[in-house]
């Protein structure tokens, strides 16, 4: 897997990540969602540099302009519910992409550190021969991405896969690197080193879904 780490180089993205982490600022849900969305835009822009472009000709009022434009058929798939603002950011830039939505959540049957990833809902076009963009702001253990990829198997085989996340843990990144095709790409804003005993990223930022949309009843 090819890893593209945004905060290896300083940019305005640093400020958005800092605001997402700040426990005082993140209480403003609208601002939290908007910062995730803005990072989706930045990560999508960086990802676009790896797509296939071909020169096309366009008539202006004064002549003809030749501009290379993207030739790939894109499908953006977000993991509900935390992936929605990230999905919006990507769609702001890839406005002609097809869209896919899938649910994946942690189920703690014994209310302890052990959990399983449950996938219950999927709405997707065919992925056969297309470029798949999987969006989830938090890459913790990596099991959500892997389970989602398995669930999408019935939709066809994409020619290339791009994962987009805001924050990831080193352990989870290594796990998805083992499970995804070698030519896959991970576009991520920042990487933390640790997971706690319940599989959450440390220092991370908390539960992105709850911070976006409010707390939920635990399964």
pTM of the model: 0.91
pLDDT of res. 25: 96
Number of structural domains found in the chain: 1
CB-count exposure of residue 14 (10 Å: 0-12, 13-18, 19+): middle
For 193, the domain range is 2-48+74-213
Within a domain: 62: no
Cis ω on the peptide bond leading into residue 193 (within 30° of 0)?
no
pLDDT of res. 215: 85
Within a domain: 87: yes
pLDDT of res. 81: 85
Catalogue the long-range contacts made by 10-14 (C-beta closer than 8 Å, 24 or more residues apart).
11/42, 12/42, 13/39, 13/42, 13/189
Residue 124 backbone phi and psi in degrees, to 5: -155, 145
Band (219; pLDDT cuts 50, 70, 90) = low
- Residue range 178-203: mean pLDDT, rounded: 94
Residue with tokens 């969602």: 33
Residue-wise pLDDT tens digits, 46-92: 999 999 999 999 999 999 999 999 999 999 999 988 899 999 999 99
The DSSP-derived string for 152-200 is GGGG---SEEEEEEEEEEHHHHHHHHHHS-TT-EEEEEEEESEE-TTS-
Within a domain: 139: yes
Within a domain: 218: no
Band (205; pLDDT cuts 50, 70, 90) = very high
Average pLDDT score, the chain: 92
Within a domain: 135: yes
In 3D space, the residue among 183, 10, 218 whose CA is nearest the CA of residue 207 turns out to be 218
Within a domain: 57: no
Within a domain: 156: yes
Within a domain: 207: yes
- Tell me the CATH number at 40: 3.40.50.2020
């Amino acid at each position: 897997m090819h890893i593209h780490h945004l905060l290896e180089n300083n940019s305005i993205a640093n400020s958005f990540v800092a605001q997402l982490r700040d426990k005082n600022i993140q209480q403003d849900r609208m601002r939290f969602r908007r910062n995730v969305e803005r990072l989706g835009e930045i990560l999508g822009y960086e990802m676009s540099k790896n797509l296939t472009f071909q020169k096309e000709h366009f008539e202006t009022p004064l002549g003809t302009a030749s501009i290379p434009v993207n030739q790939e058929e894109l499908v953006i798939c977000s993991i509900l519910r935390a992936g929605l603002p990230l999905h919006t950011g990507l769609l702001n830039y890839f406005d002609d992409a097809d869209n896919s939505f899938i649910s994946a959540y942690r189920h703690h049957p014994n209310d302890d550190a052990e959990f399983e990833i449950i996938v219950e809902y999927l709405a997707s076009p065919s992925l056969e021969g297309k470029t798949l963009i999987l969006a989830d702001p938090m890459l913790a253990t990596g099991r959500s991405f892997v389970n989602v990829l398995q669930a999408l198997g019935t939709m066809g085989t994409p020619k290339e896969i791009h994962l987009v996340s805001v924050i990831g843990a080193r352990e989870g990144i290594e796990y998805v690197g083992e499970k995804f095709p070698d030519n896959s790409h991970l576009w991520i804003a920042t990487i933390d080193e640790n997971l706690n005993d319940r599989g959450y990223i440390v220092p991370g930022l908390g539960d992105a879904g709850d911070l976006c949309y409010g707390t939920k009843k635990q399964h």
